[in-house]
Amino acid sequence: GAGVSQSPSNKVTEKGKDVELRCDPISGHTALYWYRQSLGQGLEFLIYFQGNSAPDKSGLPSDRFSAERTGGSVSTLTIQRTQQEDSAVYLCASSLTGLAGGPNEQYFGPGTRLTVT
Partner 1 sequence: QKEVEQDPGPLSVPEGAIVSLNCTYSNSAFQYFMWYRQYSRKGPELLMYTYSSGNKEDGRFTAQVDKSSKYISLFIRDSQPSDSATYLCAMKKGNNRLAFGKGNQVVVIP
Among 7, 87, 96, 110, binds partner 1 (CB under 8 A): 110
Instruction: Determine, following the binding rule CB under 8 A, whether residue 25 of this chain makes contact with partner 1.
Output: no
Of 26, 60, 91, 116, the residue at the interface with partner 1 (CB under 8 A) is 91
Could you tell me if 72 and 66 are in contact, meaning their C-beta atoms sit under 8 angstroms apart? Answer: no
User: Contact between 19 and partner 1 (CB under 8 A)?
Assistant: no
Q: For residue 65, how many other CB atoms are within 10 A of its CB?
A: 18
Determine the residue type at 56: D
**List of residues contacting partner 1 (CB under 8 A):** 4, 31, 33, 35, 40-45, 48, 50, 56, 58-59, 91, 93, 95, 98, 100-101, 103-111
